[in-house]
Chains A and B, each alone.
Chain A
């Protein structure tokens, strides 16, 4: 492992629990100096070049290069920047901490990014179940306006930016960027067919960049210290630090900022403190409910990087690590996750709307002791109809990845714990009627 991680995102949050959300504290900790540097001494293109040089990859789930994404933004005006704070992937609570404890860092990152992108109106979309984070961000936005970090002619640079905080109303799918844009336009949160991509036709059909809260919260540091300094932290293709949310059967659940490249063993047993009461680790989800599961017999020495996790058939996704110990009924756990996706399907695409519901119902009857011997094949058949070939990354028959996400827990359980599923199927199936 590399040396101790430099304090990046957690700088204000952890050090000053009493007032980390205030402008006074943020400035005392060196906040808004990156904005002064960007507006005072750098051109928009120079700022964008630093972000590109940093190799910063999106922290929302897809892990796409932020700098490359910015490069796709069409030149026509107006353009928009939308911050995705619709954090809803089960197991994920990192953005909540950034919103709640360090809102000025996000606002500074937003303002710098808007400057680089030539944007004059940015939106911070926060899920409706996060009223407290939304209040903190709203208050911070008002403070920033009063201090001249937002509004007209910011820091006498001639650059102007308005920021609007917008609350969602309970829909996981709005974390998908085109669904989020529809929602922000005042529509149902249904994903759009891509292309066109938001960078060309986004909000109000205008060029739009959608970035995750954690992604944008990294921008002040990158501008302050330089993109190359950021790129030098951690493995080449997983640069920078990363906030991981640990939950489930671990002694020390919480958000941890780590340099990528440690092993899963170190993450779960060292960082997370291991399993309560020294029970055995059974499996874990490495990157949110959408991700295929890892098991100790195969993956404890796998490295925690975007690419190593992908090479092993899963994803680091939203950074949510859900740990399950030996007492876990994995079929019930898989059902719980499938139920989530069935509930959150927007209903546009048949394979997702019907398939996720079927998966839920078949798992339900297995759990109820009503399973049939053919149900294991049926689960795989339904899964294959949602995501042909059952490979990773998943092939899609749907507009967005929600449908294939519902397949992950099912194939994980059938691959690693098939005997447990079979044991739930009653041997005596009776005699068919008629």
Chain B
């Protein structure tokens, strides 16, 4: 089993083992393990899926069925910064489409594509639960609420020039955001190290201080 992931970083091998034991049946670890495999390979490659099937004992087809069902498992290379723009109803009513258009302009990257230099991926997404702070965007799933077109250029330039290794919601919110759905509470130093949801059990979060 562990030979399948000999190429993974030692901490992620430990995480994988822990996740396989965290559920009454190891098949439940498929989704978390796909996240770790994507982190190791940059996206959900064929090798990534094969490794997850070997870890869980599920067939390649079963793992592929899961990987292709959920929109957050990217089956193509994804940029360093995945910019997801909400265009669902509440964000639509408050200008989400304009925010998307200005992000496409500022990055030179059309909706659904990745820039040639591999820096940005841009996508429109359905509701991300930030309707009180519409329009909202996420960078590597870290949230910015109250995003106005006037701040888009600055956000994209900041990502290009500062190249943050850890993308942190609070930092971006302060620099580029506006009205929030609610007070976010305590400052949160943890953020995303890749275009994956930043969550320590899945290896994708790091303290960015």
Contact = CB atoms under 8 A, between A and B. Distances in A.
B90 A187 contact: no
Interface string A238-251: 00000001111100
B56 A138 contact: no
Interface string B50-87: 00000010100010011001111100000000001001
Contacts of A183: 31
Contacts of A332: 92
B120 interface: no
A129 B138 contact: yes
A352 to B, nearest CB: 16
Given A129-B129, A247-B90, A167 B199 contact: yes
B72 A21 contact: no
Interface in B176-196: 179, 181-186, 188, 190, 192
27 contacts: A19-B185, A20-B186, A78-B24, A91-B89, A96-B181, A100-B184, A101-B183, A129-B84, A129-B125, A129-B128, A129-B197, A131-B142, A136-B188, A165-B201, A167-B197, A169-B31, A169-B73, A189-B69, A189-B70, A247-B131, A248-B134, A249-B94, A253-B134, A254-B182, A255-B132, A328-B93, A333-B93
B131 A170 contact: no
Nearest to B22: A164
Contacts of B90: 90-91, 247-248, 322
B200 interface: yes
A132 B131 contact: no
A322 B66 contact: no
A336 B30 CA distance: 32
A14 B184 CA distance: 10
A145 B129 CA distance: 29
A196 interface: no
A90 B131 contact: yes
Nearest to A99: B129
Contacts of B65: 187-188
Interface string B125-153: 11111111110001001110000000000
A168 B70 contact: yes
Contacts of A104: none
Nearest to A184: B28
A88 B31 contact: no
B13 interface: no
A343 B126 contact: yes
A170 B93 CA distance: 22
Given A129-B129, A322-B131, A336-B89, A166 B181 contact: no
B134 A247 contact: yes
A188 B22 CA distance: 20
A261 B199 CA distance: 40
A87 B132 CA distance: 14
A14 B130 CA distance: 18
B89 A93 contact: no
A395 B92 CA distance: 30
A contact residues, range: 35 or more
B198 interface: yes
A17 interface: yes
Interface string A142-183: 000000000000000000000011111111100000000001
A186 interface: yes
Contacts of A21: 185-186
Given A21-B186, A134-B197, A340 B88 contact: yes
A247 B180 CA distance: 11
B28 A88 contact: no
Nearest to B69: A188
Contacts of B181: 93, 96-97, 245, 253-255
B126 A134 contact: no
Interface string A315-335: 000001010100010001100
A129 B93 contact: no
Given A129-B125, A168-B70, 9 more contacts: A17-B186, A93-B131, A129-B138, A130-B197, A131-B198, A135-B200, A183-B31, A185-B25, A248-B131
Contacts of A121: 24
Interface string A412-430: 0000000000000000000
